[in-house]
Amino acid sequence: MELTLVQAVNDALREEMKRDQRVVVLGEDVGKYGGVFKATDGLQAVFGNERVIDTPLNEQAIVGASIGMSLKGLVPVAEIQFIDFIHPAFDQIVSELSKMRYRSGGQYAPHVVIRAPFGAGTKGGPYHSQSSESYFVHTAGLKVVIPSSPAECKGLLTSSIRDTDPVIFMESKRLYRSVREEVPEGEYLVPLGKARNARPGKDVTILTYGSMVQVSMKAAEVMCEEDVDVEVIDIRTLMPLDIETVVASAKKTGRIVIVHEAPKTMGFGAEISALLSEKAFDYLKAPIIRVTGYDTPVPFSLEDQYSPSPERVIAAIRNTMAY
């Protein structure tokens, strides 16, 4: 069946709630209204208000309640309306959720998924457009997953719900309704911790995730006309990172362009650069180039200039090829 990414979220939640009675959904307006982006539309009518729970406007309480539910045997999937609003729950996530397994010596494993839309692309301005993935990748005990397409989204969300570790599942708002593709019906899983070679190539590697996969694929197609064969690696799972696939591609092409929406300073691209300098330095033919957002809040009126575009990625590819 052909779905948008937001429909794929709904389909994954519906399938898992049918399969496992322990799965519950909670968040602001997720029930009768179906969520601010309609990701949970219709679920309360099917599963009732004890499994699809409208919560107060309190992110700390949403995550805290999810931790408590998980410790009593439920599998909560919490929705935070925008990643920008997750900060009131930061203490619950960083100090409690991520550390519960370690703190209890493995006796308790909080089986929680926190879904949140992130990134620019919908003219949300500085309070609705942030890319906060590095905060969570830096936090030991959390898995961080970012899908790049509807099929990827369904498979990765299903795997996240079944995983016994806490997962931060970040969904690009830019992709919610801009991409439509065939999504397998019924049970469908994409493994966590395994990157995807979205486009094989031999000259340059682009390492990216989320909506920037689409941007990178467009840039790669343009470079074909200049006889530059670009490989695009969709990282998918930032933590745990599939470093083997990343290093193998770097060794094959020798040229690396990293693309993400988040600001450049201390962004996830910095970690990839460091890892490649440790594990593939002798294979690099040119310095690693990062194409990212800027070290500023996301501007409402200049959002298109803030986010990496195919043109900015193409310029980076040309630079690394000319080195």
pLDDT at 245: 98
Q: Are residues 44 and 141 in the same domain?
A: yes
pLDDT number for residue 246: 98
How is residue 240 annotated by DSSP?
S
pTM passes above 0.85: yes
Q: What is the pLDDT of residue 121?
A: 82
Same domain for 151 and 238, yes or no, is no
**DSSP bridge partners of 253:** none
Together in a domain, 178 and 200: no
Q: Which residues of 112-121 are buried (b: 16+ CB within 10 A; e: fewer)?
A: bbbbbbbbbb
For residues 278 and 247, state if they share a domain: yes
C-alpha–C-alpha distance, residues 63 and 66, integer Å: 5
Tell me which residue range forms the domain holding 63. Answer: 2-182
The domain total for the chain is 2
Considering the domain architecture, whether residues 240 and 137 belong to the same structural domain is answered as: no
Q: Is 200 found in the same domain as 175? A: no
Residue 128 annotated as catalytic = yes
170: domain CATH number is 3.40.50.970
Using an 8 Å Cβ cutoff, are 95 and 103 in contact?
no
Q: Do the domain assignments include residue 189? A: no
Residue 248: C-alpha distances to residues 147, 207, 244, 255 (Å): 22, 12, 6, 12
Q: Is 188 among the domain residues?
A: no
| Cα distance between residue 15 and residue 6, in whole Å | 14
Please indicate, yes or no, whether residues 175 and 49 belong to a single structural domain of this protein: yes
Both 98 and 140 in one domain: the answer is yes
| C-alpha distances in Å from residue 80, one per residue of 52, 60, 160, 322 | 14, 10, 16, 44
Residues 242 and 173 in one domain: no
Number of H helices and E strands in the chain, helices first, is 12, 14
Can you give the CATH number for the domain in which 248 is found? 3.40.50.920
Query: Residues of the chain whose pLDDT is less than 70?
Result: none
Q: For residue 84, what pLDDT is reported?
A: 96
Q: What is the pLDDT of residue 109?
A: 85
In a domain, 191, yes or no: no
Catalytic residue among 87, 111, 128, 138: 128
Inter-residue contact 229 to 205 (CB < 8 Å) = no
